[in-house]
Structure 1
């Protein structure tokens, strides 16, 4: 990827920066910094209103092609968009799963009818989505899903359980991987279904996390239904669609994630200067290593951005997840004994405490480190497949 920005790119940066400065004011100014990892519950309705405000001014789904309602931004401009949003400390967006995952999936694999039905609602932030992939016995090993669906009278009838379903409690729809061919195993016989959440037969149970919040959920499907034509791709061929979605998940927006990481690192540095921990040579060394690691993450992200997000996605996840987990550990090392007490009873955490607790899961969700290493070993290095019992 060419790292030099054109005059057009610079003009775009100024345009979006000026818009954010003019609009993150009044009631929206209070939303700055809200809704990050482990704090997804913060001001949800207000952040939804902010996202709809952005959409009304043409700042939703900006990476999508113009013919599908987006702005058709270049890769450089997409990077600029996410960078400026993060630098403005704008609130976490509520539409990530629809805008960054499901929308691009429908553009790539969906029918014209599916695109016409769902894309405008995603752009307007009028329908929110969640991802029905992981199950109690099929997390990183997604091909082991046991949720089933069968056709009855023009409807898919879905039975099964999903777990670690982010934001299911606020979602209108779920894209679900289900086994639609009886007797099929592994990657074969899976279908990618679009299932409405507000119906009998769908039960959502929040999972209480260490942060005291419940971003994740268990979702139970017991005779839930969706229309026959709401399968993306061919029935039984949903694996390739599901993998396409995961590729979109680790695209341009990861660069904005790194700007959020930089802000977290700066908070740690500021605290170290305030409480004197910065004088500890071990702390100094850890801070320097964290900054070097973050710089490396950015260079890697830019280098791989213009290629297909196949094996690069596994490498990227394997790089940032342990780095961010170690950042949480550094935060508690700097905080010292003060990090052991909550900011306010009964269980109100400060930002660095939430960072530490949430980051413990970084190397597990979205594909564990062990699975990412297996993918690289088997698909790139050609090593023998891991023995499976």
Structure 2
């Protein structure tokens, strides 16, 4: 079968899936071996180039592959566990990485052999990410990194991290930043757990002390890290807020189920609020479908910020209503001990957990306040807010 974009068809992909399953029977092939074979067959993400897990096909055809493999009972790559790699690192590596970087990194990223994390936010540079202070000083063909990152999900599991650091403090804050790939097993990388309001520690603070990163693990040109980071951030917001869910899926489905099964909890006021949130959740779901259709035509744009905004607000309002509906029962969940979960579970845990964990949705992946500015300026075309520090050298900024 030809792999030219024009000649990749749905029927051709179905034939390719059947060939994969025939050569690697699902019942007798080890999970990792099957995933590697799927990647090599170009069926990992069909819109990626040939040799990098894809066939150069339209993104919209991925659903054909997923449906066929699902029907065959094939294992998936546990996408929730490796979401940072799939949703943020991979498109950035594809867009800015060298051929050597793409070949080395994308396959184990997709199969889940190597987990990724994101070293962006800092204690003094969260919402204003461009104000970051982690330094990268060049020493021949190596960069020496010193600084602190925070709110780093999966750092305790990760082999690799995408990292932005300041390489020229004499330039304004959005310039003089460069983008690197950091080996989390290197000397000088220290990961400490951060306990959150749920009692768990799903994310971390990361200290970087004299960490040496070869220049060969830089993405993009020196000083153009902010440009590279925009690719990561736009994809991050789509990954957080633009996931595909069925009708009445996600958190609205959980509270709707409780409503149907527990008639003794119902009141007229709660009924009206539930109906309103159900309609908003359905509107957000349909908007997400439109966003994915746009993604099939190219790169994610600022519309992903609007989806992430809606996701955060709805999760918080729905989880709050659920706790109110359940009363005292809604305040409980099974484990308040310090745990190190591998993924966030918004639907498989108790209502009390969902209520507390949803508070982070308006912070992670860009605060809602920052995203409102992005939507206002880049989607609605409203005037930009005054930014008096935009052209000042970073070293002269008040801190």
TM above 0.5, yes or no, is yes
1:118 is the counterpart of 2:105: yes
Once residues 282 and 83 of structure 1 are traced to their aligned partners in structure 2, the CA distance between those partners, rounded to angstroms, is: 41
Once residues 387 and 252 of structure 1 are traced to their aligned partners in structure 2, the CA distance between those partners, rounded to angstroms, is: 29
Shift of 1:81: 6.9
Shift of 1:253: 7.7
Deviations, residues 80-120 of structure 1 (Å, cap 9, x unaligned): 778999999x8653222222221221111111122122123
Shift of 1:314: 1.8
Deviations, residues 217-239 of structure 1 (Å, cap 9, x unaligned): 10010101111121101011111
Deviations, residues 294-342 of structure 1 (Å, cap 9, x unaligned): 2211222222331542221222222221011111112212221111233
Deviations, residues 9-28 of structure 1 (Å, cap 9, x unaligned): 8x96xx79xx9xxx9999xx
| Segment of structure 1 superposing worse, 298-307 or 213-222 | 298-307
8 Å contact 2:92–2:228 — kept in the other structure? yes
Q: How does 1:13-24 map to 2 (within 5 A)?
A: none
1:74 to 48, 55, 58: 58
Q: Counterpart in 2 of 1:36?
A: none
Once residues 46 and 107 of structure 2 are traced to their aligned partners in structure 1, the CA distance between those partners, rounded to angstroms, is: 13
**1:372–1:265 CA distance, 2 compared to 1 (3 A):** same
Q: Over alpha carbons, which structure has the higher Rg?
A: 2
**1:85–1:268 CA distance, 2 compared to 1 (3 A):** farther
| Segment of structure 1 superposing worse, 226-235 or 270-279 | 270-279
> 3-state SS of the aligned residue for 1:169?
coil
> 3-state SS of the aligned residue for 2:168?
coil
Q: Counterpart in 1 of 2:86?
A: 99
8 Å contact 1:51–1:93 — kept in the other structure? no
Once residues 26 and 196 of structure 2 are traced to their aligned partners in structure 1, the CA distance between those partners, rounded to angstroms, is: 31
Q: Counterpart in 1 of 2:282?
A: 295
**1:318–1:264 CA distance, 2 compared to 1 (3 A):** closer
Q: Counterpart in 2 of 1:368?
A: 367
Once residues 304 and 126 of structure 1 are traced to their aligned partners in structure 2, the CA distance between those partners, rounded to angstroms, is: 30
| Segment of structure 1 superposing worse, 318-327 or 257-266 | 257-266
Once residues 357 and 261 of structure 1 are traced to their aligned partners in structure 2, the CA distance between those partners, rounded to angstroms, is: 22
Q: Counterpart in 2 of 1:152?
A: 139
1:342 is the counterpart of 2:333: yes
Shift of 1:143: 0.7
**1:374–1:354 CA distance, 2 compared to 1 (3 A):** same
> 3-state SS of the aligned residue for 1:165?
strand
Q: How does 1:263-274 map to 2 (within 5 A)?
A: 263-274=250-261
1:185 is the counterpart of 2:172: yes
8 Å contact 1:86–1:260 — kept in the other structure? no
List alignment gaps of at least 5 residues for structure 2.
Answer: 1-8, 340-347, 389-397
Once residues 240 and 275 of structure 1 are traced to their aligned partners in structure 2, the CA distance between those partners, rounded to angstroms, is: 51
**1:139–1:86 CA distance, 2 compared to 1 (3 A):** farther
Shift of 1:265: 2.1
Once residues 86 and 332 of structure 1 are traced to their aligned partners in structure 2, the CA distance between those partners, rounded to angstroms, is: 35
Q: Counterpart in 2 of 1:207?
A: 194
1:329 is the counterpart of 2:354: no
| Segment of structure 1 superposing worse, 78-87 or 169-178 | 78-87
1:357 is the counterpart of 2:356: yes
Q: Counterpart in 1 of 2:394?
A: none
Q: Counterpart in 1 of 2:3?
A: none
Once residues 68 and 198 of structure 2 are traced to their aligned partners in structure 1, the CA distance between those partners, rounded to angstroms, is: 28
**1:323–1:63 CA distance, 2 compared to 1 (3 A):** farther
**1:82–1:251 CA distance, 2 compared to 1 (3 A):** farther
**1:303–1:144 CA distance, 2 compared to 1 (3 A):** same
List alignment gaps of at least 5 residues for structure 1.
Answer: 1-6, 27-48
> 3-state SS of the aligned residue for 1:159?
strand
Once residues 179 and 337 of structure 1 are traced to their aligned partners in structure 2, the CA distance between those partners, rounded to angstroms, is: 49
Once residues 253 and 61 of structure 1 are traced to their aligned partners in structure 2, the CA distance between those partners, rounded to angstroms, is: 19
1:163 to 141, 150, 174: 150
Q: Counterpart in 2 of 1:33?
A: none
Once residues 185 and 263 of structure 2 are traced to their aligned partners in structure 1, the CA distance between those partners, rounded to angstroms, is: 52
Deviations, residues 132-162 of structure 1 (Å, cap 9, x unaligned): 1111111121111111101113211000011
1:138 is the counterpart of 2:125: yes
Q: How does 1:282-321 map to 2 (within 5 A)?
A: 282-305=269-292, 306=294, 308-321=299-312
Once residues 360 and 325 of structure 2 are traced to their aligned partners in structure 1, the CA distance between those partners, rounded to angstroms, is: 21
1:8 to 3, 7, 10: 10
